[in-house]
Structure 1
Amino acid sequence: MTDLAKDAAAELDITGGAGGQAVLDHLVDLLDLEKIEENIFRGVSPANSPVRVFGGQVAGQALVAAGRTVPSERKVHSLHAYFIRPGDPSIPIVYEVDRIRDGRSFTTRRVTGVQRGKAIFALSASFQRPEPGLEHADEMPDVPAPETLLTFAERMRDFPDLSGTRRRPRPIDVRYVNDPPWVTRQTGRAEARNQVWMRADGRLPDEDLLHVCVLTYASDMTLLDSPLARHGIYWELDEVSGASLDHALWFHRPFRADEWFLYDTTSPSASGARSLATGRFFAADGTLIATVVQEGLLRVPS
């Protein structure tokens, strides 16, 4: 990564409100890792990050590191990740890639994110050469088109208590289909599902791996809202602390992350301070493009 790219990435805020092409370009720079040595890469965090590194950022960067050791004709079809320790955004993350297997059809990589000599993140990713097979998929839920919905900034106007990081520029355009959790918390109408339209807020380069990594980044943005919404509580407005524990993604079909996709999420279970959340990604034409499962740590006062 060039010094200019580092400076651009340092200006990116990962969680907030308004966005645009300049903010998205900063995310692209953030995902442009510096190659230190064979199988070793280094990534940085935005200067104005929260206290710990955003989970979607470290997952996206780790997938970039894995993908850069794999032939471009082999596409990632799954990843499984564990968030081991909180990442410190003030220092770089070193990504060490282990080339587990290079087979005739599949390639497997293991990536460890390291800070101060300790692992903070571990990812396994599998890549496959294209081949034909059975075809079926769930249908997309019937939801309003994204252009008919309020922007994230418009949704936030009447909620001055959410004046922290969630109002800063974000590289992902998010439009809630149903009332967002901070609204249902006040109305008492708990939602069993959390549905948002998303897209990169600008135009991305024509690089398949980059689009997959941007979706990976976005997949961690609203997923834990699903278990919170069922209980009428929300970040910043209630006494709740949380963190991603593990994260799995399966990529089913090609897509562009700078075109609208629906993120349909729900939480089938919560117990022992852990909440499970699942999600499906649909392209605007109804194509199922990816599936996600995450377990998160959510602590609330008893």
Structure 2
Amino acid sequence: MNPVLAEILHLLDVEKIEENLFRGHNAPNSHHVFGGQVLAQAIASAYRTIESGRMLHSLHAYFLRPGDWNLPVLYDVDRIRDGRSFTTRRVVAIQHGRAIFNLSSSWQVAEDGLEHAVSMPDVAGPENLVSDRERYAQIAKKHPEVKRFAFRFDAIDSRQVEGLLLTEAAPHPPYKHTWMRAAERLPDDPEVHLCLLAYMSDMDFMSTSLLPHGRRPGPGNGIQGASLDHALWFHRPFRADEWLLFAKESPSSSGARGFVRGTFFDREGRLVASTMQECLIRPRD
């Protein structure tokens, strides 16, 4: 397995240190605690307190404080409810004795019921698209600062339908479509696929709200950007090592906040997950 993907999977494999208390580590060479990583580690912590046969169907999370990449993150799981059909867990991520993140999640036994779903957008497939790994490798020759986030594309095979990158500065309507999958075959463990999709759901998501303004997130670009909250709903089974279309749009931005929402479809066109996020996009000009 390639070392970047192996490292991410290692980070998502939280360590149990006491009943309902887990520890997650940060990438040793990163000066940033990625929100998708904290989200995925919190899911992994809750997962390990859930009765077998129940699957995560929804979560709602808030990013409360910036993380400190020099320290591990503690995840305190509150077993709020274990019902006959549904299980509820709350997870608080802690550093320096303070909460930096909290998550509420609901898990359900498998049930049959009524079904419908919207259709997958009619966009080009991934086979003939240039990977983000290749694109950012070229950009990094002149702008090495992109390596701060672009290393993740060694682990996640990501391909933009519209060709819009995080470095894009020209205005564009507030939508984009990205094909994503793990760069290599993953273990069959459902926890791995659940956590990795959560990780991917925070990649290049906030930037959708900046597209109509021709702005970019990050230092030196005049925008203070940060995730404020994140929600995910899991509708149908999926594998994170098979192609998923992440369709993203931003219906609104106001009050220095951007609102983005997205849907994941598998290669057969089935809607497998939905996500929403509000983010800070504060102009610093």
Under TM normalisation by the shorter chain, which class is it?
over 0.9
The SS at the match of 2:144 is: coil
Please give the root-mean-square deviation of Cα atoms over the aligned residues, in Å.
Answer: 1.6
Cα-to-partner distance string for 1:111-168 (whole Å, 9 max, x where unaligned): 0000111000100111000001110001000111111100113323257554221343
Partner of 1:180: 164
State the Cα distance separating 1:235 from its structure 2 match. Answer: 3.0
C-alpha distance in 1, partners of 2:96/2:109?
36
State the Cα distance separating 1:243 from its structure 2 match. Answer: 0.5
Which of 142, 146, 153 is the aligned partner of 2:133? 153
CA contact (8 A) 2:63 2:227 kept: yes
Partner of 2:47: 67
The SS at the match of 1:168 is: helix
Name the CA shift for 1:133/1:63 in 2 (closer, same or farther; >3 Å): same
Cα-to-partner distance string for 1:179-207 (whole Å, 9 max, x where unaligned): 2145752xx45133111100011111111
CA contact (8 A) 2:174 2:210 kept: no
**1:187-202 pair list within 5 angstroms:** 188-202=170-184
Name the CA shift for 1:290/1:240 in 2 (closer, same or farther; >3 Å): same
State the Cα distance separating 1:172 from its structure 2 match. Answer: 1.1
Aligned-partner residue type, residue 62 of structure 1: A
C-alpha distance in 1, partners of 2:14/2:165?
34
C-alpha distance in 2, partners of 1:67/1:159?
37
Partner of 1:219: 201
Name the CA shift for 1:224/1:162 in 2 (closer, same or farther; >3 Å): farther
The SS at the match of 2:262 is: strand
CA contact (8 A) 2:171 2:213 kept: no
Name the CA shift for 1:296/1:169 in 2 (closer, same or farther; >3 Å): closer
C-alpha distance in 2, partners of 1:98/1:161?
47
Name the CA shift for 1:132/1:182 in 2 (closer, same or farther; >3 Å): closer
C-alpha distance in 1, partners of 2:255/2:63?
18
Aligned-partner residue type, residue 111 of structure 2: E
Instruction: Give the unaligned 5+ runs of structure 1.
Output: 1-19
The SS at the match of 2:276 is: strand
Name the CA shift for 1:167/1:57 in 2 (closer, same or farther; >3 Å): closer
State the Cα distance separating 1:64 from its structure 2 match. Answer: 0.3
Partner of 1:104: 84
Which of 260, 267, 274 is the aligned partner of 1:277? 260
Cα-to-partner distance string for 1:261-287 (whole Å, 9 max, x where unaligned): 011101111111111000000111101
C-alpha distance in 1, partners of 2:93/2:102?
6
Name the CA shift for 1:169/1:189 in 2 (closer, same or farther; >3 Å): closer
- TM-score normalised according to structure 1 size: 0.88
Say yes or no: does 1:203 pair with 2:168: no
Partner of 1:245: 228
State the Cα distance separating 1:299 from its structure 2 match. Answer: 1.2
The SS at the match of 2:113 is: coil
C-alpha distance in 1, partners of 2:168/2:35?
25
Aligned length in residues: 280
- TM-score normalised according to structure 2 size: 0.94
Q: Identity percentage over the alignment?
A: 50
C-alpha distance in 1, partners of 2:30/2:84?
41
C-alpha distance in 2, partners of 1:235/1:280?
22
Partner of 1:49: 30
The SS at the match of 1:258 is: coil
C-alpha distance in 1, partners of 2:7/2:165?
28
Cα-to-partner distance string for 1:229-259 (whole Å, 9 max, x where unaligned): 1211113562112100000000000000011
